[in-house]
Amino acid sequence: MDKNMLAGLEGMPEEDKMRMASMIDQLQIRDSLKMYNSLVERCFTDCVDDFTRKSLKKQEETCVTRCAEKFLKHSMRVGMRFAELNQGAATPDN
Amino acid sequence: MAANNSPLPAGVTKEQAFGMAETEMEYRVELFNRLSQTCFSKCVDKRHVSSGLHLYFYGSRYKESELNMGENSCIDRCVSKYWLVNGLVGQMLSAGGQRPM
């Protein structure tokens, strides 16, 4: 979900281009918020299951940090591969 | 013939074209999100390892914030396979749609 989407818009009249760009912006915002929510849920589910107190244990905090970082790195990698496949780039089968 | 620069398919208004474009974009975003979630669960989120009837629970989850080589390879392969499955199912859906149920 990025600028590649704008690549096919060259031939359009200006107002249509703006409309598409605004659509893409909206989608990106919505997508970011969705990702935020699902990431929180995932890391909470994976890292927190001790409810003897309200505050987070140090270990839980560390886990959540790593979980989030890991997912974001993963998401970037997936994005790269996804873009390659979208463009029909051939890759070795290994 | 269409006077504008980007010809529309026959019988499609500009509004419809925008609607279809938006739907297409939303589909693509959803595809990406599901792919990402699925491959994370399959490749990175190694909490449970099932061996026969037993579920092993790794004591320390998310030992580090980096992705190791194994996870990287798994992610690449998972994305590739997911993509292929997406294509397969798409083919089957469009072929099946022409047969009366």
Which CATH number, 1.10.287.810, 1.25.40.10, 1.10.4160.10, 3.40.50.720, labels domain A10-90?
1.10.287.810
Which tokens belong to A26? Answer: 């909206």
| Alpha carbon distance, N-terminus to C-terminus of chain A | 26
List of chain A residues whose C-beta atoms are within 8 Å of the C-beta of residue B62: 46-47, 63, 66-67, 70
Q: Does residue B1 carry a pLDDT above 70?
A: no
Q: What is the pLDDT of residues A20-31, one digit of tens each?
A: 999 999 999 999
Interface list for chain B against chain A, based on CB atoms closer than 8 Å: 4-6, 14, 18, 21-22, 25-26, 28-29, 32-33, 35-37, 39-40, 43-45, 47, 61-67, 71-72, 75-76, 79-80, 83
Q: What residue segments make up the domains of chain B, in order of their start?
A: 14-98
Which tokens belong to B97? Answer: 């749609």
Q: What is the ipTM of this complex?
A: 0.79
Q: What is the pLDDT of residues B19-72, one digit of tens each?
A: 999 999 999 999 999 999 999 999 997 654 444 554 544 445 888 899 999 999
Q: Does residue B2 carry a pLDDT above 50?
A: no
Gyration radius of chain A's alpha carbons: 19
Write down the mean pLDDT value for chain A: 88
* Token pair 């499609």 in the structure block, residue: B12
What mean pLDDT is predicted for residues A6-27? 84
CATH number of B14-98: 1.10.287.810
Which tokens belong to B12? Answer: 């499609």
Rounded Cα distance, A57 and A2, in Å: 37
